[in-house]
Amino acid sequence: MAKATKKQALGRGLSALLSDPDNDIQSASDKNADKLVGSIVELDLDSIEVNPNQPRSNFNEEALGELASSIRELGLIQPITVRKLGFNRYQLVSGERRYRASQRIGLERIPAYIRLANDQESLEMALVENIQRQDLDPVEIALSYQRLIDEIGLTQEMLSQRVGKKRSTITNYLRLLRLDPIIQTGMRDGFISMGHGRSLVNVEHRADQLDIYEKIVAGNLSVRETEALVRSYHDKGNGKSPGSGKSAAALPDFAEAGLEDLKEFLDAAVHIQASGSGKGKITIPFHNREEFRRLKKRITGA
């Protein structure tokens, strides 16, 4: 009990410190900044604004209601994280569900960790924290990865280290963004899985993607059945019939083993044709000048 009282007293002391406009803490070099960062402080909900760069866009209303009921009964166990914008002004970095649930039950104050960060650092913290969640759909994760690459300037290798995921895992998520938006929405709504999406991304033309997607949903096809449908699509594109036995699965072992490695390395829909004697060709499609330059740089290093 004494430990809890001490923690609460610390929060009240810091709250008083933050209420002093003459000694406002804005950066890590300011007086008393070391006492503030890493400590839990009680903040007025009215002083906190939602991050416009918040990567999470879907909030399940039923789950939010359950969280609100839990907070009403037990209190808020895990503080939110905010960054300081100015005197008595803060912006959410992580914990928007907790923030929204607290608003829903009429709480006036909320425990928070305060970070002193610029806009880019705030976005990166929000994106990385968001990716670690367990209830995200694959497209939401892919969009967060892409934003870390585009807006923070991380490479896939740097991103792999930052979020603790294999580079191949990140590549597989990013490739989902090549799907038609209708298919992405279907994945987010649970009509198809990430496995279905990974198979569909190997279909270059979006009209064909949508045609196969409709068959998946109408027939409730499994991932394995979808893979077979995509192989059949490629066979027809090569002027072969689905029953000819010349599908991608009939590639020589060396080509079959290297195909996925090439797809991951180039982050492209690579196609291989090869005969039993080992002779063949590799096709790497691109859709615009920027993608061609990206592929060229990946292959040549220049």
What is the per-residue pLDDT across 43-94, written as a single tens digit (0 to 9) for each?
A: 899 999 987 766 565 677 888 888 888 888 888 878 888 888 888 888 888 7
- Residue 96 appears among annotated catalytic residues: yes
Q: Say if residue 73 is exposed, middle or buried (CB neighbours under 10 Å; 0-12, 13-18, 19+).
A: exposed
Selection from 72, 88, 103 nearest residue 19 by Cα: 88
The order of strands in the sheet holding 48-49 is 40-44, 109-115, 80-86, 89-94, 48-49
Selection from 153, 85, 96 nearest residue 124 by Cα: 153
Which structure tokens are listed for 171?
A: 């590549």
Rounded (10°) angle between helices 96-104 and 61-74 = 70
Selection from 117, 70, 71 nearest residue 94 by Cα: 117
The pTM of the full predicted model, rounded to 2 decimals, is 0.47
CA distance 54 to 140: 11
| Residue pLDDT, tens place only, 139-151 | 888 888 887 887 6
In this predicted structure, what is the pLDDT of residue 270? 81
Q: What is the CA radius of gyration of the chain?
A: 25
In this predicted structure, what is the pLDDT of residue 88? 84
Q: Which residues contact 26 (CB under 8 A, 6 or more apart)?
A: 84, 86, 116
Tens-of-pLDDT digits for all 302 residues of the chain? 333 333 333 344 676 677 777 777 776 667 777 667 667 888 899 999 987 766 565 677 888 888 888 888 888 878 888 888 888 888 888 788 889 999 999 999 998 888 776 656 666 777 777 677 667 789 888 888 887 887 677 888 888 888 888 888 888 899 998 898 889 888 988 899 999 999 999 898 888 999 999 999 999 999 999 999 998 888 776 434 334 334 444 677 787 778 877 877 787 778 888 877 778 888 888 777 777 888 888 888 76
Contact 94, 81 (CB under 8 A): yes
Instruction: Choose the catalytic residue: 42, 96, 225, 256.
Output: 96
- 75-110 as b/e: b if 16+ CB within 10 A: ebeebbbbbbeeeeebbbbbbbbbbebbeeeebebb
CATH, range 2-123: 3.90.1530.10
Domain ranges (residues) in the chain: 2-123, 191-244, 251-302
